[in-house]
Amino acid sequence: MIFSSTLLENAVTQFARLPGIGKKTALRLVLHLIKQDAVEVNRFSEIIATMRNEIKFCARCYNISDTDLCNICSNSMRKQEMLCVVENIRDVIAIESTQQFNGIYHVLGGIISPLDGIGPGQLTIDALVERITKESIEEIIFALSPTIQGDTTIYYISKKLKPHPVKITTIARGIAFGGELEYADEMTLAKSISNRIPVENFMVSGH
Amino acid sequence: MIFSSTLLENAVTQFARLPGIGKKTALRLVLHLIKQDAVEVNRFSEIIATMRNEIKFCARCYNISDTDLCNICSNSMRKQEMLCVVENIRDVIAIESTQQFNGIYHVLGGIISPLDGIGPGQLTIDALVERITKESIEEIIFALSPTIQGDTTIYYISKKLKPHPVKITTIARGIAFGGELEYADEMTLAKSISNRIPVENFMVSGH
C-alpha cells in the first residue's frame, strides 16, 4: 500500500500490528477515526494509554485490577472460602458474566503445556499453594478448558494440594472436549459451575 | 460482559465502537495491548492522537495530507495535466499502489446516490469544475466504482464539463459490474487505467 500521508501510514501500521487486523482493516479503522470528532479520538487514545499505564495485576489472585487488590478479592460479600482456578483473565470475565459464582479466583496465567514450553514454574501454582496454606479456603473449583493440557494441570495441582484439607472440584463437562472455555455460552458455563464434580470421580471416569 | 476493572472496561468499550469490532474482539485487542511494553502502547496511543489532530485534507484535490497541499499535488514530477477523479481516499491509495498512474487526483468525497441522500451538492464537483477552468488540465480520467451511481456521477460531471476543451475518459471495465473499486487486485486496476476509454464510446456501449 502506498500512502500520500505519513500520519495516515503510521496510524495504519500501528493498527495492523494488532492480532487479526490486516492492512486493509487497519486502513478502514483509521479512516473511521478521521471521520470522528477530534475530541472523541483524543479520548480514545488517552483511555488506551491510561489503561496500559495504570492497570495492575491483583497481588492475591493475579486478576486484572485497577487497585493492588482486585475488586473481587476485596469484596466482603463474596465467599472467601470458595476459590475458582482459571487459566486467564478472559475466563474470569466469562465466569463473572454468568453471575452464578460468588467466590474468589486464582488466575494461573496459562496451563501446563510441554509442547508450548509451558511448565508449572511459569504459572502461579506456587502462589496458589501458598494461598491454600494461609487463607481459609474450603473448596477449590477448577474451571480450566476441557483439554488434555487442562486435565494435566488439574492433576498436577491436585497432587500438590493433597496434604491440605481442601475439597477439590472441577466444573462439569457441559462443554465439548477440545472446546475453548471463553467461547462457551453463558448458560452452559453457568450449568457447568453448578454441576461441578469431585476430582476423584472425574479422574476415574475420564480419559 | 462483566469486568472487574474499570480501566479494562473503558478500553474495551472504546475498541468496540470501531466498525466491525465486537466486544470479544475488542477484549482480545486490549488484552494484547496489556501484554505489550507500556512504551509501545503509549506510542500507539500518541500516533493515533497525533494523526487525528494534524491530518489535513489537501486544499486542491481533497486527498488526505500532512500539509496544506498533499505530496501528490506538490510533486513536480507528476503530470499536472492529467487528472484522475476518484470517490474517496481509499481509491487514491489503491491506484497509487498500482504505481501505474503518474498524474494528479481529485477526491469527490462520494458518488451521486439519491437513495442514500447524496446529491451533487455534497460532493466536491464545483471545486473540480473550478480546477478545470484554472489549471491546465488536458485529460480527466474517471476512476469510479462501476455501478449505476458511478455512471450517474460520470454522466453528471461530464455534462458540466462540456463547455471546457478537456478530454474525458474512464478506466476500462476490467472490474465486474457491481464490484467495489478498493477490493480489485492491483493488476486488474493497473490494466483498467492503461485501457481507459473515451466517455462517448462508453456511454453508447454501456447499459
Residue B34 to residue A64, Cβ atoms within 8 A? yes
Mean pLDDT of the residues in chain A = 89
Q: Return the higher-pLDDT residue of B11 and B185.
A: B11
Interface test with A, best of B34, B46, B51 (most A CBs within 10 A): B51
Give the closest of A19, A43, A52 to B41, CB-based.
A52
pTM, whole model, 2 decimals? Answer: 0.78
B35 in contact with chain A, both atoms CB, cutoff 8 A? no
CATH for the A66-205 domain, from 3.30.565.10, 3.30.360.10, 1.20.1530.20, 3.40.1360.10: 3.40.1360.10
Q: Which residue of B has its CA nearest to A44?
A: B14
Q: What percent of chain B has pLDDT over 70?
A: 93
Mean pLDDT of the residues in chain B = 89
Class of domain B70-205: alpha beta
CATH number for the domain whose boundaries are A6-54? 1.10.8.420
* B29: chain A residues, CB-CB within 8 Å: 18-19, 21
B145 in contact with chain A, both atoms CB, cutoff 8 A? no
Residue B52 to residue A32, Cβ atoms within 8 A? no
* B12: chain A residues, CB-CB within 8 Å: none
Domains A6-54 and A66-205 share a fold: no
Rounded average pLDDT over A122-138: 94
Long-range contacts, stretch A93-97, CB < 8 angstroms, 24+ apart: A93/B1, A93/B2, A93/B3, A93/B4, A93/B27, A94/A181, A94/A182, A94/A184, A94/A186, A94/A189, A95/A143, A95/A189, A95/A193, A96/A72, A96/B2, A96/B3, A96/B4, A97/A186, A97/B1, A97/B2
Residue A25 to residue B25, Cβ atoms within 8 A? no
| B-proximal residues of A, 91-110, CB under 8 Å | 92-93, 96-97, 99
Cell digits for A92? 474470569
Residue A52 to residue B42, Cβ atoms within 8 A? yes
Rounded average pLDDT over B16-29: 94
Give the closest of B29, B34, B64 to A4, CB-based.
B64
Q: pLDDT tens across A27-56, in order?
A: 999 999 999 999 999 999 999 999 999 999
Is the distance from CB of B99 to CB of B191 less than 8 angstroms? no
B59 in contact with chain A, both atoms CB, cutoff 8 A? no
Residue A10 to residue B47, Cβ atoms within 8 A? yes
How many whole angstroms separate alpha carbon B114 and alpha carbon B134? Answer: 30
- Decide if pLDDT at B156 tops 60: yes
Domains in chain A: boundaries: 6-54, 66-205
- Decide if pLDDT at B2 tops 90: no
* A96: chain B residues, CB-CB within 8 Å: 2-4
pLDDT of residue A203: 61
